[in-house]
């Protein structure tokens, strides 16, 4: 049930540039964890079948990650589920007020979470690892992908908290744990979403 990205594969990704397509793909994977964690209790599911609206094609996790990673950013995303499929809605944030809001919030998250993780990291100057936990899933991610997630995405039904590294996270080499759960984010100009 729980999925942990293989550490060997992750280390291979870390050898590439922080602005590489791999960071975009990992940031898109973070979005899926955040979206599923943000589903209402009655919609909670572990399905890996998605629909990226307005399309109706059913996609596997890899295909939806590929599509999300290439969409114009920043994106506001939310999701719902009907049991067998998670329906994702993402719109590019375009109005000045919404862009300003997103940029301020993203940079605050980048600063706050980035500093906290770097302080907790035993290796100075490296791209520290985080263990991300959502609903019935987890993965290990470099901090650079999480910071890209903050800058590129806004998830309307998910909140997160940063916890110290626990035994499980330390086994995966993670400096901290980022836990996603249900909550609401509102925006000044919701017509842009």
Residues of the chain with pLDDT under 50: 1-18, 185-193
What residue spans define the domains of the chain? 7-192
Sheet holding 153-155, edge to edge: 58-60, 49-53, 86-92, 75-81, 153-155
Residues in the chain: 193
Residue-level pLDDT at 184: 59
The token duo for 103 is 């940029």
Which pLDDT tens digit goes with each residue over 36-86? 999 988 788 888 899 999 999 999 999 999 999 999 999 999 999 987 899
pTM of the shown model: 0.82
The C-alpha atoms of residue 149 and residue 145 are separated, in whole angstroms, by: 6
CA distances from residue 169 to 56, 74, 137 in whole angstroms, order as listed: 37, 29, 13
Structure tokens at 165: 């590294």
Q: What is the pLDDT of residue 20?
A: 65
What confidence score (pLDDT) does residue 183 get?
A: 72
Closest Cα partner for 58 from 88, 33, 27?
88
8 A C-beta contact, residue 142 and residue 191: no
pLDDT of the residue at 153: 97
Yes or no: say if 95 and 101 are a contact pair by the CB < 8 Å rule: no
What pLDDT is stored for residue 52 in this prediction?
96
**Cβ(158)–Cβ(180) below 8 Å:** yes
- Residue 106: CA atoms inside 13 Å, Cβ hemisphere, count? 21
At residue 188, the pLDDT reads: 41
């Amino acid at each position: 049930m729980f999925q942990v990205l293989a550490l060997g594969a992750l280390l291979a990704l870390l050898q590439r540039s922080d602005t590489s397509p791999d960071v975009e793909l990992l940031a898109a994977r973070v979005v899926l964890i955040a979206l599923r964690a943000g589903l209402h209790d009655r919609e909670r599911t572990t399905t890996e079948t998605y629909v990226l609206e307005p399309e109706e094609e059913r996609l596997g996790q890899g295909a939806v990650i590929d599509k999300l990673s290439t969409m114009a950013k920043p994106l506001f995303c939310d999701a719902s589920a009907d049991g067998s499929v998670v329906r994702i809605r993402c719109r590019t944030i375009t109005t000045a007020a919404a862009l300003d809001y997103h940029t301020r919030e993203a940079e605050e998250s980048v600063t706050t979470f980035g500093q906290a993780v770097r302080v907790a990291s035993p290796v100075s100057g490296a791209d520290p690892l985080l263990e991300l936990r959502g609903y019935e899933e987890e993965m290990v991610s470099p901090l650079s992908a999480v910071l890209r997630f903050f800058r590129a995405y806004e998830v309307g039904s998910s909140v997160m908290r940063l916890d110290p590294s626990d035994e499980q996270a330390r086994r995966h080499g993670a400096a901290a744990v980022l836990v996603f759960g249900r909550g609401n984010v509102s925006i000044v100009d919701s017509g842009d979403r």
